[in-house]
Amino acid sequence: MDAAEFRKRGKEMVDYVADYLEKIEKRQVFPDVEPGYLRTLIPDCAPQDPESFEDVFKDIEKIIMPGVTHWHSPYFFAYFPSASSFPALLADMLCGGIGCVGFSWAASPACTELETVMLDWLGKMIKLPEEFLAGKDGQGGGVIQGSASEATLVALLAARTKTIRRVQSEKPELTEADIMGMLVAYASDQAHSSVERAALISGVKMKSVSSDDTFAVCGSALKKVLDEDKASGLIPFFFCATLGTTPCCSFDKLLELGPICNKENIWMHIDAAYAGSAFICPEFRHLLNGVEFADSFNFNPHKWLLVNFDCSAMWVKKRSDLIGAFKLEPLYLQHHHQESGLVTDYRHWQIPLGRRFRSLKLWFVLRMYGVTGLQEHIRKHVRLSHQFEQLVLQDERFELCAEVVLGLVCFRLKGSNELNKALLKSINDAKKIHLVPCHLREKFVLRFAICSRTVESTHVKFAWQHISQLATELLKTWEQKHQQQ
Amino acid sequence: MDAAEFRKRGKEMVDYVADYLEKIEKRQVFPDVEPGYLRTLIPDCAPQDPESFEDVFKDIEKIIMPGVTHWHSPYFFAYFPSASSFPALLADMLCGGIGCVGFSWAASPACTELETVMLDWLGKMIKLPEEFLAGKDGQGGGVIQGSASEATLVALLAARTKTIRRVQSEKPELTEADIMGMLVAYASDQAHSSVERAALISGVKMKSVSSDDTFAVCGSALKKVLDEDKASGLIPFFFCATLGTTPCCSFDKLLELGPICNKENIWMHIDAAYAGSAFICPEFRHLLNGVEFADSFNFNPHKWLLVNFDCSAMWVKKRSDLIGAFKLEPLYLQHHHQESGLVTDYRHWQIPLGRRFRSLKLWFVLRMYGVTGLQEHIRKHVRLSHQFEQLVLQDERFELCAEVVLGLVCFRLKGSNELNKALLKSINDAKKIHLVPCHLREKFVLRFAICSRTVESTHVKFAWQHISQLATELLKTWEQKHQQQ
């Protein structure tokens, strides 16, 4: 395929993508296929000779689409949103065309520098303390990670190295392995599984801190477990606070937790993967109060800020802490400008070496929506979740399971977990909308997350009517079964 | 921006990318900018109100392009190639449009299933032993990682968990921390820095194994260090063999190393990040002999197989080993089909949770080039490196520093490291071509890597004439300086 054919086919693909997104509402949100469906539809091995674009193109509808879960359907209310917008798609086309690999400043200066400046823009939008910004000569700064999991891992590794160095300077008789065996990381019992995973990867212990009745960790809960662990000779070194937990979007109490972490030499990382985007609205910014105590902060514009996956924004107060955890310099990666204070080599900030030009997506989206456009997007989603909340509240068969703060509603039928599992199954089997569940304490709970960029009040109303009707049918047969037993 | 405007702007972007790639030869391969250039060109913060696409679009040439290192210029001979092709760009547009996040089978069945099948296609193309393929019910299989660094890390973590479990079952008196402190990973002194980094992240020791005169690790070198370490109570658990090292594209001796690793219960991972693509050609496949002894194997189609970054292909013989190192199952990630043997949840195979639909790129590229088209691409690059090799050999001021096997030529002026540093500086300062150096033992060496999809014999000839002329000028002034001293 030469450039001339790419011009033709690229334009066809633009139309295909535009059609797909314009008419996505007509597709069944969750596919009908069974595991293994795809292997039966395509050959056993790659073709020896080239096939035409037409051949490949017609297979998209035949082979791929029947197995796609349509994350951008307005009937998709599962997990958390994954962002999609036209400006981001355009930026990704440019990113692919340039195709640079920006692991160091020299590998493509624009790729590194735009990222630093965009993370400053974004940091200012959520009013991060200035220490987290790179500015012209700051000690902090931001980086785009692939996912919040990576941000948590990188923060934990930086904390691990920093703590090992500190403890070794205080107690030179201890080996690195001794210290590793004593380190403990903490997060809420509501925290994302990626925190436990980061500890597993890094080879350190991790403990859950009990959340309170609002599913938030408060200062006294953390203090209690720290005191116990210190008394038994362990070294607490890392706490991951969550703003907007995955099960029910609860918020750990930063203003209580931060001072404790600072006093105890514990690195506080904040995972606001989903909720962080909301902090661009002044009415939600108070949820971030206490960030001034943190060492690192992360949220995912690829969730809720209309920047297509992947774009996970992470900031640190001291970039030297991150770099210190990783820095290794083979000659083929050194370059002329390296010693200048202005130069950032992002490979020292992340797990992979290579990196795409992802800041283009931020640049396009922030400019083409403007802050006000992005605020409107957030506010619409929050409005829709409150609409759903009201619908739940008006039906006394149902109960809400957690406060609705942003775009997530946790709800269930008053009744057993089995009943609610049956309800979820009937919802997802019908495939008109798509939801996933969570556990809150012992309760099996349905999560209704406002996800799609194009979701409107009518979709929410439809979803509720559908759920309500399925509940009516379910309760009828459920009572019959119960009577028979 | 609505779908209608996206249709218009998307087509403009397709043309921009086509223009960029068609005329890339006319751009200076390495930019003129100094660190900090970009911040002076753009506002301090994001705009409140939306800007037009035109405003953003015109800034691409004004702000971005002056700072881009043009990786796809035919005058780019630095690092290793980063792949770019039109079919891959088309697939990435589709990937962005679908915008699913395929962390589990249910999150988008097509995303998972196409990946499994494409990795089987690719595995067959390089004649991997069948144990590495997923097939219909195999124990092995492939996954797309973001980078070779991540593949190495994932392999090392799987090996770590497996070894800890084995040692704990043999010596229940040892704690996990005790065992962690005894584990040692190994790789060649020529291995990529990502191996050392993987060990650093995982909190285990790593040691270099001396390579021989051909910069390859042979069996006796590994055996020697293993014997020493076992004698001092350490537990060797992981060896990363490299096929196609970054400095000079040397090949560790798998057929000697594999049986040692198997006998000693050491996980052998093979990093063939660059060289792996060449194994689709029968004449290079012998370089992979010995892979049958490995536990995991990785190469980067995003380097040399025309699949745009990121697409790092990794295979394991036992998928349960990878999953065992990671598996954590919160309820919101569980799904109905989970217990079926047919279902793959790729989040258990990797560091991040989220993942894009990257297998579309492989599908488009493998079908639209065909095996023969991809073989042609590899063979052209190897031919061009041998052309450059011949030019070096014909000039007796220069010497070759390593055997030219694939697309990399390591060479230098006969003379001091300072002289060669000065030569590289004059080459990169002139900015007509771009190279990076390496060290081979004590020697400072220039690396000439055939990179661009569109590089031809004329570009190689031009590069050599240019280098040769700069060498002539340099040697003149160098002798004068020398005489004056």
Kindly tell me if the per-residue pLDDT of B482 is higher than 80. Answer: no
Residue A296 near residue A239, CB atoms below 8 Å: no
User: Best of B29, B79, B113, B183 to disrupt the A interface by mutation (most A CBs within 10 Å)?
Assistant: B113
Contact: A332, B246; criterion CB under 8 Å: yes
The span from the CA of B446 to the CA of B127, in Å, is 33
> Three-class SS of residue A59?
helix
**CB nearest to A364's CB, from B56, B364, B373:** B56
For residues B439 and A469, give the distance between their C-alpha atoms in angstroms, rounded to a whole number.
Answer: 71
Instruction: Evaluate whether B1 touches A86 at the Cβ level (below 8 Å).
Output: yes
Flag whether pLDDT at B330 surpasses 60: no
Give the nearest partner residue to A367 out of B56, B69, B71, using CB atoms: B56
Secondary structure letter of residue A290 according to DSSP? T
Which of A5, A6, A117 is best to mutate for the B interface (most B CBs within 10 A)?
A6
Residue B101 with chain A: CB contacts under 8 Å: 71, 79, 82, 309
Q: Is residue A42 within 8 angstroms of chain B, CB to CB?
A: yes
Chain A contact present for B225, CB below 8 A? no
User: What pLDDT does A172 receive?
Assistant: 93
Provide the 3-class DSSP secondary structure of residue A391: helix
B370-483: which CATH topology?
A: Aspartate Aminotransferase, domain 1 (3.90.1150)
State whether residue B42 sits within 8 Å of chain A by CB.
yes
Q: Which residue of B has its CA nearest to A111?
A: B68
At B62, the pLDDT band (50, 70, 90 cuts) reads very high
- Residue entry with tokens 């985007």: A277
Q: Is A195 on the interface with B (CB under 8 A)?
A: no
Report how many Cβ contacts below 8 Å link chain A to chain B: 467
CB B267 within 8 Å of CB B296: yes
Q: Give the whole-angstrom CA distance, residue B380 versus residue B320.
A: 39
Supply A27's token pair: 């597709």
Contact at CB, B363 and A9, closer than 8 angstroms: no
Q: Please answer yes or no on whether A53 and B309 come within 8 Å at the CB atom.
A: no
Is the Cβ pair A201, B340 closer than 8 Å? no
Q: Which residues contact A159 (CB under 8 A, 6 or more apart)?
A: A185, A237, A238, A266, A267, A269, A295, A321
- Give yes or no for a contact between A261 and A268, defined as CB atoms under 8 angstroms apart: yes
By the CB < 8 Å criterion, does A9 face chain B? yes
Q: Which residues of A touch B85 (CB under 8 A)?
A: 1
User: For residue A337, how many other CB atoms are within 10 A of its CB?
Assistant: 14
DSSP-H helix ranges across A173-253 = 176-182, 193-202, 219-231
Residues of B in contact with A340 (CB under 8 A): 35
Helix (H) or strand (E) holding A390: helix A359-393
Cβ-defined contact of A370 to B180 (cutoff 8 Å): no
Contact (CB<8Å) B67/A39 = no
- Whether A110 sits inside 8 A of B438 (CB atoms) is no
User: Which positions in chain B touch A136 (Cβ < 8 Å)?
Assistant: 36, 39
Q: Which of B51, B68, B118, B122 to mutate to test the interface with A (most CBs of A within 10 A)?
A: B68
pLDDT value, residue A353: 86
Among B107, B114, B202, B218, which residue's Cα sits nearest to residue B159?
B202
The CA-atom distances, in angstroms, between A157 and each of A187, A198, A238, A268, B203 are 15, 9, 10, 12, 10
pLDDT tens profile B433-469: 999 999 999 999 999 999 999 999 999 999 999 999 9
Pick A100's closest partner by Cβ from B21, B71, B204.
Answer: B71
Peptide bond into A59 cis (omega under 30): no
* A246 touching chain B per CB within 8 A: yes
Using an 8 Å Cβ cutoff, are B27 and B19 in contact? no
- Enter the DSSP assignment of A51: P
Bin B233: left if φ > 0, else alpha if -120 < ψ < 50, else beta: left
* Contact between B20 and A98 using a beta-carbon 8 Å cutoff: yes
| Separation of alpha carbons A347 and A360, rounded Å | 18
Give the distance from residue A417's alpha carbon to the nearest chain B alpha carbon, in angstroms: 13
**Is 70 exceeded by the pLDDT of residue B288?**
yes
Q: Which residues of B touch A192 (CB under 8 A)?
A: 330
Interface contact flag, A439 B331, Cβ < 8 Å:
yes
Sort strands A267-271 and A141-145 into parallel, antiparallel or unpaired. Answer: unpaired
Q: Which of A146, A302, A336 sits opposite B146 (nearest CB)?
A: A146
A41 touches chain B (CB under 8 A): no
Q: Domain B3-77, what fold?
A: dopa decarboxylase, N-terminal domain (1.20.1340)
Residue ranges per structural domain of chain A: 3-77, 100-356, 370-483
Q: Is B457 an interface residue toward A (CB < 8 Å)?
A: no
Q: Do the Cβ atoms of A408 and A435 come closer than 8 Å?
A: no
- Same CATH fold, A370-483 and A100-356? no
3-state SS string for chain B: CCHHHHHHHHHHHHHHHHHHHHCHHHCCCCCCCCCCCCHHHCCCCCCCCCCCHHHHHHHHHHHHHHHCCCCCCCCECCCCCCCCCHHHHHHHHHHHHHCCCCCCCCCCHHHHHHHHHHHHHHHHHCCCCHHHCCCCCCCCEEEEECCHHHHHHHHHHHHHHHHHHHHHHHCCCCCHHHHHHHEEEEEECCCCHHHHHHHHHHCCEEEEECCCCCCCCCHHHHHHHHHHHHHCCCEEEEEEEEECCCCCCCECCHHHHHHHHHHCCCEEEEECCCHHHHHHCCCCHHHHCCHHHCCEEEECHHHHCCCCCCCEEEEECCHHHHHHCCCCCCHHHCCCCCCCCCCCCHHHHCCCCCCCCCHHHHHHHHHHHHHHHHHHHHHHHHHHHHHHHHHHHCCCCEEECCCCCCCEEEEEECCCHHHHHHHHHHHHHHCCCECEEEEECCEEEEEEECCCCCCCHHHHHHHHHHHHHHHHHHHHHHHHHHHHC
What CATH fold (topology level) applies to the domain A100-356? Aspartate Aminotransferase; domain 2 (3.40.640)
**Taking the CB of residue A324, how many other CB atoms lie within 10 A of it?**
15
Measured N-to-C along each axis, helices A3-22 and B86-98 cross at an angle, to the nearest 10 degrees, of: 10
* Strand duo A443-449 + A436-440: pairing: antiparallel
A327 → chain B, closest CA residue = B197
Tokens for A335, please give them: 């370059």
pLDDT of residue B337 exceeding 80: no
- pLDDT tens for chain A, 485 residues: list them: 899 999 999 999 999 999 999 999 999 999 999 999 999 999 999 999 999 999 999 999 999 999 999 999 999 999 999 999 999 999 999 999 999 998 899 999 999 999 999 999 999 999 999 999 999 888 999 999 999 999 999 999 999 999 998 999 999 999 888 999 999 999 999 999 999 999 999 999 999 999 999 999 999 999 999 999 999 999 999 999 999 999 999 999 999 999 999 999 999 999 999 999 999 999 999 999 999 999 999 999 999 999 999 999 999 999 988 888 876 555 655 666 654 566 788 888 888 889 999 999 999 999 999 999 999 999 999 999 999 999 999 999 999 999 999 999 999 999 999 999 999 999 999 999 999 999 999 999 999 999 999 999 999 999 999 999 999 999 999 888 877 65
Amino acid at A147: S
Confidence of residue B339 (pLDDT cuts 50, 70, 90): very low
Distance CA(B118)–CA(B108), nearest Å, equals 16
Contact B50 A340 (CB under 8 A): no
First to last CA, chain B: 67
Residues 317 to 336 of A: which have CB under 8 A from any B CB? 325-326, 328-333, 336
**Closest Cα in chain B to A1:** B86
For residue B363, pLDDT beyond 50: yes
| pLDDT of residue B262 exceeding 60 | yes
